[in-house]
Amino acid sequence: MNELLPPILAALVISIMGGALSIFVVLKRLAFIGQGISHAAFGGVGIALVLGVHGATTMGAIGQLGIVTVFSILAALWIAALTRTHKGRADTAIGVVLSASMALGFVLFTFAESGHSHDEHGHAPAAHQDEHHLIEEILFGNILNTDWSKASIAIGVAIALLGIVWFIRRRLIFWAFDEPVVDAFGLNSKRITNLFLAILAIAIIMAMQIAGVVLAAAMLVLPGAAALNLSAKLKPVFIYSILIAVGGAALGMFIGFEGSFPIGPTIVLTQSAMYLATLVTKFALGRQ
């Protein structure tokens, strides 16, 4: 049981963070931002490989995570800039950045592969053999592989991000509900957008390391969308979103453990079922 405690804590912390952030994601119609940034991170993986930074050592693991995180933040800011040039079409911007970043990642990965020498048997050295594992670990992490060090990082990052969001909550709420008039009230909508997307990028990369792309993307959509089916009032929506996120994570982990199912996808399916339940409740109550 002790070995399950780190992944359980990490999943719950990620869910709390996702529940809080997903309200803004849904209100700003950034539902595909998780997919965009998580797949754009492949470009950062390619850069790490070309630079020879890999997870064979603790410092290498920290270095590769840093490179991927910085690249993902830059990708998020690129999405913001393209969104403004495309008159608010975030879907177009996400598609452009996702495609370009993944293509860059594949090109750099191929370049890194060609740069390795082979032994007399035609086998690549250990560093090369670890590259495929690196990509799998960065993009498709298994939550059951979470140890106390990873869980501690996840908890620390989540607390820091939630602290920032709490500190700027009034500006974020104003921006989410009425961005066109934000500048007229002395706030900088561009700066708020960039800051929020940078927060999202860090949250997504952290979630990817723990639970993989599927859960990292879903946590930013499902809880908020479900909560908005239940209420139009701000405070209840945030409470519902966090409860749905945490409840879905807890129930999904229980089902996954009992049925030997993959934990991340099971959590996503559980939260999806909760979303459908809130949708039925919305129509049953006659809410539009």
One digit per residue, the tens of pLDDT, for the chain of length 288 reads: 577 888 888 888 989 999 999 999 998 888 777 778 877 887 887 888 788 766 555 565 677 778 888 888 998 888 888 877 766 577 788 888 888 888 888 888 787 777 654 444 454 554 455 555 555 555 556 777 788 888 888 889 999 999 999 999 989 988 888 777 887 888 888 889 889 999 998 998 888 877 777 778 888 899 999 999 998 888 899 999 999 999 999 999 999 888 888 888 888 899 999 999 999 988 887 765
Question: Is residue 109 within 8 Å of residue 46, measured between CB atoms?
Answer: yes
- Which of 211, 193, 149, 282 minimizes the C-alpha distance to 17? 211
**The pLDDT of residue 273:** 95
Question: Which value, to the nearest 10 degrees, does the dihedral of the CA atoms of residues 91, 96, 97, 103 take?
Answer: 140
**The pLDDT of residue 116:** 55
Residue 242 CA to residue 23 CA, distance in Å, equals 10
**The pLDDT of residue 204:** 87
How many angstroms separate the first and last alpha carbons of the chain?
A: 45
Please name the residues in contact with 105: beta carbons below 8 A apart, sequence gap of 6 or more.
42, 43, 44, 45, 46
Residue 254 CA to residue 184 CA, distance in Å, equals 49
* Topology classification of domain 2-117+132-282: ABC transporter involved in vitamin B12 uptake, BtuC (1.10.3470)
**The pLDDT of residue 119:** 47
What would the two tokens of residue 127 be? Answer: 């560093």
**The pLDDT of residue 101:** 86
Question: Is residue 281 within 8 Å of residue 230, measured between CB atoms?
Answer: yes
The residues spanned by each domain of the chain are 2-117+132-282
Residue 70 CA to residue 132 CA, distance in Å, equals 21
Residue 201 CA to residue 237 CA, distance in Å, equals 23
